[in-house]
């Protein structure tokens, strides 16, 4: 199932939500949103994966996504990405993604994981 995204231009904010089983294609499509919309450069994003099943993603796919995103100029390194999780399995996948991003020579946007939407919003807002 895809990732749905709401862009709030008046406050330079993106709220994305994954639900159901996410695939490599879903993540690539989400990345293309940023590549194809330079007007959202610098926007902070909450990516809510609390209802998503990430078990269909293998390690190679997670590393591929991390490499693609990290090498892209579509993201402002001064912007923030808050990822909301619910399960340990989701956390393991995102930890691998986060670790893989550290191997990039490009500066990446700040990223933290949360188990609460309120906590994610507080961090994004600061």
The range of the structural domain enclosing residue 62 comes to 3-125
CATH of the domain at 76: 3.30.750.24
d(CA 118, CA 27): 24
φ/ψ of 77, rounded to 5, equals: -65, -15
Residues across the chain: 126
Average pLDDT over residues 37-44: 95
Q: What per-residue confidence (pLDDT) applies to 104? A: 85
Q: What per-residue confidence (pLDDT) applies to 106? A: 87
Cα dihedral across residues 40, 4, 120, 89: positive or negative: negative
Query: How many structural domains compose the chain?
Result: 1
Q: What is the pLDDT of residues 55-112, one digit of tens each?
A: 999 999 999 999 999 999 999 999 999 999 999 999 999 999 999 998 888 899 999 9
Q: What per-residue confidence (pLDDT) applies to 1? A: 60
**Please, what is the average pLDDT of the chain?**
95
Q: What per-residue confidence (pLDDT) applies to 87? A: 97
């Amino acid at each position: 199932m895809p990732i749905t995204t709401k862009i709030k231009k008046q406050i330079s904010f993106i709220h994305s939500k994954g639900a159901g089983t996410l695939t490599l294609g879903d993540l690539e499509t989400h990345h293309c949103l940023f590549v194809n919309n330079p007007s959202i450069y610098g926007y902070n994003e909450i990516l809510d994966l609390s209802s998503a099943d990430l078990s269909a993603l293998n390690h190679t796919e997670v590393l591929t996504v991390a490499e693609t995103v990290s090498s892209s100029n579509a993201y402002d390194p001064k912007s923030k990405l808050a990822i909301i999780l619910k399960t340990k399995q989701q956390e393991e996948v995102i930890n691998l993604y986060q670790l893989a991003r550290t191997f990039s020579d490009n500066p990446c946007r700040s990223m933290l994981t949360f188990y609460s939407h309120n906590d994610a919003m507080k961090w994004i807002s600061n």
